[in-house]
Amino acid sequence: MKRVFFLWPMVAILMATGMLSFYMPKAMMHVPEQAVTDSVLYGEERHFKNIQQLTFGGDNAEAYFSYDGKWLVFQKTNPKEGIACDQMYVGKIPEPGQKFEPKLVSTGKGRTTCGFFTANNKHVVYASTHLSGADCPPVPDRSKYGNKYIWPLYSSMDIFMADLNGKIVKQLTNTPGYDAEATISPNGKTMLFTSTRNGDIDLYLMNLKTGKTTQITTALGYDGGAWFSPNGKKIIWRASRPITPEDVAEYKGLLAQNLVAPTKMEVWIANADGSNPRQVTTLGQANWAPAYMPDSKRIIFASNHEYKRGFPFNLYTINEDGSNLTKISRDAGFDAFPMFSPDGKKIVFCSNRNNGGTRDTNIFVADWVE
């Protein structure tokens, strides 16, 4: 069935920075209407089979598998349900035809982002501002920055561990500045996260048993959204690298205000300890939400590099050396946040597809076909 809707480039920009987790704007930018097919699966998407749409309404993003592949943790905003800004939910993946019934696992206060299961499948880690207040923290006034997309680095954002009933069992970070975007190693021993504690936006490793923390990136620019490879030997992340004097001055000026405008990003990889960092993509625009594929060699990521207007965003695969770039998804709006199940048989991602012409972003699970 054909539906006509406004493609929403501002949503795409927000997601391009990996921060649908923080907010969605109240108004769309004006762009021409485009007629697209509203579907859960498009004809050229040969790698997806038995696709299931799990959520129906609101903004549902960053859905990630538990270590046993049976559950998802994700963040959700839906003002119609009284969820003014992102809160964290967990839900068991249903059998085909059954209903997905997630439950709140964060406090319901402040703003949360970036959930991830622990290796025992009994806890999740996520970042939250709830200690600084129950209300959603304010978003930047873009008009002060030439209407450029600006992302807030909330200094009140810290990382917590909670059980699946929502009880916080441990506060993992407690330093001045932004701490968020956490993932955990395949063996469950190490947390990889982003922090501004040393004055830039860098990656850190934390031993979850001892709490010992090590900074592993030092280059000027935003480093975030990092993951371990399935074999635990490498890490992958998105990074901006301001080079020109003008770009450096803008980056530092925004950072001094706990802000960043990370709309130019490329995919980077390194050894698990941060050594031997190297850039994978040189595509321009926003290349982000990268994850290693089950073989720990190939990479899947989201990008808008084909479209100078900034959208759509689709999923692509690529080799570590930057070769064999392949387009995987075909939605005319937004596909991102891909993650493979631990056994490599399924993929979860978030998309604007099949949303009935609304602004909704929903969660989809499919069998992966090579």
**Domains contained in the chain, CATH given:** 2-368 (2.120.10.30)
pLDDT digits (tens, 9 = 90+) for 281-316: 999 999 999 999 999 999 999 999 999 888 899 999
Identify which has the larger pLDDT, 314 or 9.
Answer: 314
Residue 261's pLDDT is what? 85
User: Which two tokens mark 232?
Assistant: 């635990």
Average pLDDT, the chain: 90
In this prediction, residue 308 carries a pLDDT of: 86
Q: Which amino acid is at 282?
A: T
CA-to-CA separations, 144 to 107, 115, 137, 169, 254, in angstroms, rounded: 32, 31, 18, 40, 11
C-beta of residue 32 within 8 angstroms of C-beta of residue 62: no
Strands 190-195 and 335-340: unpaired
Q: Is the pLDDT of residue 12 over 80?
A: no
Question: Is the pLDDT higher at 86 or at 3?
Answer: 86
**With 70 as the cut, is the pLDDT of residue 26 above it?**
no
pLDDT digits (tens, 9 = 90+) for 114-136: 999 999 999 999 999 999 999 99
